[in-house]
Each structure stands twice: as structure tokens, then as C-alpha cells.
Amino acid sequence: LVPPTLRALPHNGQVTARKGSTVTLECKASGNPVPTIYWFKKDMFSGPTHLSDSSTLILENVDRHHAGIYQCSADNGVKERVSMDIQLTILSPPEITVEKSWVHAAEGYDIELVCIVHGDVNSEMLWYQNSFLLDATDRRSMYSRDDRYSLIIRNFQSSDFGNYSCVADNALGRTKKYIEVSGRPGPADFISPALSGSLDHYNLTWTIETIPALEETKLLYRRLLMNETYQHPGKWHEFHIKATAVRTDNTHYIMSYVIKNLEHNAVYEAIVQARNKYGWNELKRFSGTSSKLQALDIPAVFDQPEVRPNFPAEAAGLANERDELRRTNTTDPIVSELAVKKAVISTR
């Protein structure tokens, strides 16, 4: 009986590959009886993940998520198993995620825009407002820590509103992400449950992010399915909310409204529109089931389409809904620039 021995290829335990390529990791083992080789990927949070039981591990179309430490272990039942680590590095153009794609602001306040850059090749970060490259000033500062890049604007001015972009550049490519900075209210965040608990009324509750005071709030609702044979939704019912909104902090309001005379065992959808001195909030869908509400990751409809490249096809449907709302609000021309968020509620 001979305990297992193990050697990794390459011998230095370092493998570097480009994004999209195929990577083969290999370990050779000897011993008597013939050892079995196990492959794991290490994770400092969840622990090792078992991947394969063979001498080679093939990774296809690799990206940054494949990077990390892989461990091959050999075991033949004689003494303890032996292990070796291989560090895999993936080279790729920078990949950017933004902490917030929409940031609320008001004159006199401070804001921070944050972009996270992923990739193992050193990246240079540039910030733009609209198409103009930004430099540091007495009110504007750029900071970076590890992969987190921040643009801080102090004593916000009206000229600071607009569309910002962070651009990361390295030897393998260039990537851009957008952030809109607006004074308009944020979309309504519905916090009431989807199920009413009552047969004919529903207490709809929501929060809205806004620093300036709200000047106007509208609630629209309609029944989604009339019956099993008539599948078209009902007409919109509109209310101007006159109740005083309650400040939860310096940037948020909480509001509620009791919708009455609802039909039993019916599903409705509701939309809240809010306006402050900067205008109406943006359009965003909020959908769910009779048991819970679930936010859908659908970008807002912006006045300037270039703010959101690769806009999903579903946005066309949202624009059609906005047109329908315009027809039902003929006395209010501002409704053509609606900023809304929808909730599905049930009286079951």
C-alpha cells in the first residue's frame, strides 16, 4: 500500500486566461491503490464546492465568476488525502455595476454616485456629465477604494442635474454605465400586502423618495380581469390624494389611501403618480401575485433614450399604458410625462 502523491499542472499553480476561452486544469496522482481525484472550488463564505471526480477539470466560456482558487485532492484510503491549489485569473474588459441607476437630488444637498468595477486587469475610471468629462473641483471629488469608485457632489446646484456615466478602460476594452440624477420624486414603493384582508376595500400604503415637498399626488386603479370570459382590464379610476404625507426622514414620505367599493375576490392594479417642484416621477412597473408583491427589474422610461442602451421590449408596453392613461386624463397634459409604479392587489 502506497499513500497518494499529487502534482498540479502547471507546477506553479497559477493559470491565467481570457474571458470567453476554455480552461483546462489538471492534477496527476499516484499511489497504490490508484487514487481518486476530486476537484473543488474554494469560497471563503460558503466553503468548498465539489465540481468533478477526474484528473482534469474543463471550464468553458470562462468569465470573472470562474476566477478563484481551485483545489484538487487525491485519496486512495491510505493515510490522509493530499491536496493542491490552483489560482485561476480571468482577464477581461472591465465590467461595471452601479449602486443606483437613478439618484435623487436637490439643490444645497450632497450626493454620491457609485460604480463598482470588476476585472483582474487594472482599470482607469472616468466620470462624465452628459458628454462632458468631469474634473475635480471644490464641490466635486472622485474617490476609489478597491473596486468601488465614487463621485461626490457637494452643495448640489441646478446645473448638476442630468445624466452621468462612469467609464472604465483597461488594456482589453472599455465599458460605460449610466446614472440619472434627478430632482423629481422616486417611484412609489408599495409596502402594503398584496391581499386586502377585507371584502370591499383596501388600504394601499407606499413610500416616495423626495427632498422637496410633494405638490400633487394621484392614485389610479383598475380591475385587472373582469371575468373568465372577458379578460380585458377595467377602466382606470383616478383620485387626487389630499391627505397630508408624513415624512419618515429627510428624503422620504409615507402615504396611504383606502380604496373603497371594490368587488369581492377580484384583483386590481394601482398606480401612484407624484409631483414636486421638479416634475413627475418616472414610470416603473410593480407587479405580483395574490400572495405577495414582487418588483420587476424594468428600467424607467427616460426622455433621452441613450440613457438606457439595450432597453427591454417590455418598455414599449409601458409606453402604451402611459398613452392610455393620457387618454383618461385629458384635462392634465402633464400626464404624458407620467412617472408611475404599479401594484397588484387582491380582495380575496
* Chosen domain end from 150, 182, 214: 182
Are 307 and 199 found together in one domain? Answer: yes
Are 232 and 316 found together in one domain? Answer: yes
Mean pLDDT of 174-188: 95
- What's the confidence (pLDDT) of residue 296? 33
Give per-residue pLDDT as tens, 58-105.
Answer: 999 999 899 999 999 999 999 889 999 999 999 988 999 999 999 999
Question: What burial letters (b/e) apply to 210-246, b meaning 16+ CB within 10 Å?
Answer: bbeebeebbbbbbbeeeeeeeeeebebebeebeeebe
Question: What burial letters (b/e) apply to 32-41, b meaning 16+ CB within 10 Å?
Answer: eeebbbbbbb
The pTM for the full model equals: 0.70
If DSSP states are collapsed to H, E and C, what string results for the chain?
CEEEEEEEECCCCEEEEECCCCEEEEEEEEEECCCEEEEEECCCCCCCEEEECCCEEEECCCCHHHCEEEEEEEECCCCCCEEEEEEEEEECCCEEEECCCEEECCCCCCEEEEEEEECCCCCEEEEEECCEECCCCCCEEEEEECCEEEEEECCCCHHHCEEEEEEEEECCEEEEEEEEEECCCCCCEECCCCECCCCCCEEEEEEEECCCCCCEEEEEEEECCCCCCCCCCCCCEEEECCCCCEECCCCEEEEEEEECCCCCCCEEEEEEEEEECCEECCCECEEECCCCEEECCCCCCCCCHHHCCCCCCHHHHHHHHHHHHHHHCCCCHHHHHCCEEEEEEECC
Q: Say yes or no to pLDDT of 293 above 50.
A: no
Comparing 36 with 244, the larger pLDDT belongs to: 36
- What's the confidence (pLDDT) of residue 305? 27
Are 140 and 83 found together in one domain? Answer: no
The domain total for the chain is: 3
Are 280 and 320 found together in one domain? Answer: yes
Are 64 and 195 found together in one domain? Answer: no
Are 204 and 329 found together in one domain? Answer: yes
Are 287 and 205 found together in one domain? Answer: yes
CATH number of the structural domain spanning residue 69: 2.60.40.10
Copy the grid coordinates of residue 326: 393620457
Are 80 and 154 found together in one domain? Answer: no
- What's the confidence (pLDDT) of residue 289? 29
Pairwise CA distance, residues 223 & 233, whole Å: 6
Give per-residue pLDDT as tens, 229-261.
Answer: 656 777 888 888 875 678 888 899 999 888 888
* Chosen domain end from 125, 155, 182: 182
Question: Of 202, 165, 209, 166, whose CA–CA distance to 185 is shortest?
Answer: 209
* Chosen domain end from 91, 111, 126: 91
Are 257 and 304 found together in one domain? Answer: yes
| Confidence grade of residue 163 (pLDDT, cut at 50, 70, 90) | very high
- What's the confidence (pLDDT) of residue 220? 87
Are 119 and 166 found together in one domain? Answer: yes
Torsion from C-alpha of 214, 215, 216, 217, nearest 10 degrees: 10
Q: Say yes or no to pLDDT of 3 above 70.
A: yes
| Confidence grade of residue 165 (pLDDT, cut at 50, 70, 90) | very high
Cell match 506553479: residue? 12
Give per-residue pLDDT as tens, 301-348.
Answer: 322 222 333 333 333 344 454 445 444 443 332 232 333 455 555 555
pLDDT exceeding 90 applies to what percent of the chain? 49
| Confidence grade of residue 282 (pLDDT, cut at 50, 70, 90) | confident
Q: Say yes or no to pLDDT of 144 above 70.
A: yes
- What's the confidence (pLDDT) of residue 297? 33
How many other C-beta atoms are found inside a 10 Å radius of the C-beta of residue 197?
11
Domain that holds residue 64: 2-91
Pairwise CA distance, residues 303 & 336, whole Å: 11
Are 112 and 199 found together in one domain? Answer: no
Are 61 and 162 found together in one domain? Answer: no
Comparing 189 with 195, the larger pLDDT belongs to: 189
Taking CA atoms, 331 is separated from 215, 241, 334, in Å, by 18, 17, 9
